[in-house]
Structure 1
């Protein structure tokens, strides 16, 4: 592609000719090959401007950045915001690929992944082909691809949209992805807000800032696009009010008469039966996943499909065959009758939803295994332990990803947290696999054991047992017990 065409897309120009043809766009100097345009982005840990020389040596034929750079032997285009330019250039380079798809974007603290998987399942049962871009993995043209971030960087995102031949693309959109302008230039037919709770306050200044970043997704609606909002939480109501003031077509899921899809009644079993009303007609559906939070995830998917023109009966008939989401309320049965749950929950709200699911059943004890990631939002930790100890018989604190913090320092942080709950039964077992093994050996009939925080994710450090994730520890312990 001609560099002139790319520069025109961002309203920039370079006064000298001739300009080179561009074969690719890169923001990582290590990935540059001959003919690429290198975008120097000032990141949170490294500054791309420091790697301009390496990019040129690797074959970059032009460079774009924010700093004043002289004496470069390839064209250098200076812009005020290279991160925004990166997204717009990637969009142009790949031919604005979002335009060929029906685009669904989902944002919120919790529920993005489950809602995305539910939508994909329902729509494929309706005969549509769907791409999925999110936390667990990416699925493009029925091929599973690894996912590095919930929302990929703008180059990778546009590349995935370009290679996708699927009719519908369902995307999880994180606050990091919005704030870092990864979705700049991409527009959605449907934008969904699930909820907001205390999380990522190491990245956002406060909850209001977090909310405002999330609300920016709705600036990316296509001219006839629609917003879907869950109002059964404080921030959902605020989002509805904000969108109405902004004249955004908004459809809501909640418990109130003014909600387009109104939850009327729940019959609480392991998998709940929900009665809801839409267009003055009552419907009943068996929720395919346990927990109140999954009632809202399911109803959100139902309303979205309703807005896409599908009939309620047909939507509801697809749900019994839904098999769940890796690392989201994955259930395992112990040989003594205990139930083990592996879940990604890492906020107080999400953990409370998980533990309350056991409270709705017949149970003996609730045992909760959790850890905290190093160099991550420490302001939420005490509230998480407060919620856990209020609902659990035993809490086991263990290690999550250290992220550069020493193991001893993380253990000290856990000890300090435990000291604030002296009247609660809290154990500290640093090795995550041994913590799970302890609960496995300890659990008995009727116990519910929750292992939260990582879900499907692989461990970032070595532990005692030869396992790479929480589910693999459970499977390992099942195999060992079978052999014995």
Structure 2
């Protein structure tokens, strides 16, 4: 059914969001009288540059009244705002108490409630959301015959085959429901999506109920004046996924897991847990998680060199399957366990082909390994204390017996997530031999200020720490010079930007070669060979 002025007002009224409709001097709770019958909105937008005949415009965020100039002439049918803008516009104004909530509800109605045509899976957590989403999507796509869609911080896939670079981890609600409609119309049965804390903070998923939610883990992140003022606020926003899911998969070792279980109990949501089992060979597995992953060479004494990356995954009370992941790190095995637990909770059983699809998943910019001579380079998106700590744990486990010299190349974003700067340094300064601090997305703050602040957090007098603002030069220096005397194994970690081909400067984007391409070029790897080093997605 088409969205009309009358149906929009009725919907907003039922949700207690409607204040009044203003058109000139006339104020009412009803649709304005017209000679053409009910006004049907042809398009919905939050960008005045996209206004056309029959458009409904949402005036959200830092909207300025002067943006409305020319909208009447373009054919604006009505606007939705939290303030009266009639001095700037002749079109009716739908005044609401919360424009973001209104936009989500009206977008859902405009696109015919596409969530009802999909099995919707939402994944949240501080780290691992993207990898888990890709693992799950690969299996669901195989099981369903290519009818699984994906919304991630890297790519969006709406037809099960073709991917397009995404702009936000969780799209604005208007874009989200449009994408859902595209996916449903393309015959998709499942949609796997990352759900960020900002998605709940900014009501991007308002009114949505997920058939299955996953809460992987939580640690401090995104703490800044423009994101979350405190960790409590960050966690509270993440926790909303529990209240808006029919079932929940939860990391058994997640911080504040008891609180999340209380949330689930209050909402009547069934919880299934997953965890890493580090039991010694021959011992009983842990029993406080429903689904487990075990590192095989710890479990059965296999040769560490031949068994690297091989795991046993399955229910704690049942047989385990062997998997051999293309992506390194125990944390990625834990992500695989989460994905497999979700498949089971959905009532599905992955066959060998589905498992193999998951095993082959590689995500551009995430744990991409490059090797040449005595140098091993990892390009990864690690960008906070928890993810840097997990990355260095992996280096210790994988290469510790060879006593490598470790170099970390890292910056941090300007304007936001201010807590990351100290966290990255704290996680690294006593575990690496050289720290090169470099530029990242600088926003309005500027890379120089961020880098100098990060250097100020270094307290280890024995750490070789320096600033090289130009990111390309920083990576070049790390690969050419390494750490220590340059002999023996050199492990170089380049984190933060991955495959991104831009750096945010001010409100715009400056072209950037990409961490992965810079490393490949310096090591003499041709760009079309990158697939062999881990540049494949689903």
Instruction: Please indicate, yes or no, whether the TM-score normalized by the shorter chain is above 0.5.
Output: yes
Offset at residue 316 of structure 1 (A): 7.3
Deviates more, 1:24-33 or 1:280-289: 280-289
Taking the aligned partners of 1:408 and 1:316, their CA distance within structure 2 comes to: 47
Offset at residue 369 of structure 1 (A): 0.7
Match of residue 476 from structure 2 = 437
Match of residue 114 from structure 2 = 97
**Per-residue CA distance 1:354-382 (angstroms, 9 max, x = gap):** 11111112342221111011112222322
Does residue 31 of the first structure (1) align with residue 33 of the second (2)? no
Match of residue 392 from structure 1 = 432
Q: Any gaps of 5 or more consecutive residues in structure 2?
A: 19-28, 278-285, 299-303, 506-510, 528-538
Instruction: Give the match's secondary structure for 1:392.
Output: coil
Taking the aligned partners of 2:353 and 2:297, their CA distance within structure 1 comes to: 20
Taking the aligned partners of 2:338 and 2:102, their CA distance within structure 1 comes to: 34
Taking the aligned partners of 1:215 and 1:112, their CA distance within structure 2 comes to: 15
Q: Any gaps of 5 or more consecutive residues in structure 1?
A: none
Would you say the 8 A contact 1:231–1:237 is kept in 2?
no
Counterparts of residues 29-428 of structure 1 (less than 5 Å) = 29-41=48-60, 43=61, 46-71=62-87, 72-128=89-145, 129-141=147-159, 142-164=161-183, 165=186, 166-202=188-224, 203-221=227-245, 225-254=246-275, 255=277, 256-263=286-293, 266-267=296-297, 269=304, 271-278=308-315, 280-288=317-325, 289-311=327-349, 314=352, 317-318=355-356, 321-334=359-372, 336-362=373-399, 363=402, 364-418=404-458, 420-428=459-467
Taking the aligned partners of 1:272 and 1:112, their CA distance within structure 2 comes to: 20
Instruction: Give the match's secondary structure for 1:391.
Output: coil
Deviates more, 1:95-104 or 1:14-23: 14-23
1:467/1:67 CA distance change after superposition, 3 Å: closer
1:145/1:280 CA distance change after superposition, 3 Å: same
Offset at residue 232 of structure 1 (A): 1.5
**Per-residue CA distance 1:381-428 (angstroms, 9 max, x = gap):** 22321211222111111111110123443343244234x343322122
Displaced runs of 4+ in structure 1, greater than 6 A? none
Instruction: Give the match's secondary structure for 2:383.
Output: coil
Match of residue 281 from structure 2 = none
Does residue 468 of the first structure (1) align with residue 509 of the second (2)? no
Offset at residue 247 of structure 1 (A): 2.0
Instruction: Give the match's secondary structure for 1:412.
Output: helix
TM-score (norm 1): 0.91
Offset at residue 315 of structure 1 (A): 7.6
Instruction: Give the match's secondary structure for 2:361.
Output: coil
Match of residue 536 from structure 2 = none
1:406/1:75 CA distance change after superposition, 3 Å: same
Number of residue pairs aligned between Structure 1 and Structure 2: 472
Instruction: Give the match's secondary structure for 1:213.
Output: helix
Instruction: Give the match's secondary structure for 1:471.
Output: helix
Would you say the 8 A contact 2:383–2:420 is kept in 1?
no
1:156/1:267 CA distance change after superposition, 3 Å: same
Taking the aligned partners of 2:44 and 2:425, their CA distance within structure 1 comes to: 45
Taking the aligned partners of 1:122 and 1:271, their CA distance within structure 2 comes to: 23
Taking the aligned partners of 1:310 and 1:115, their CA distance within structure 2 comes to: 17
Q: CA RMSD in A?
A: 2.5
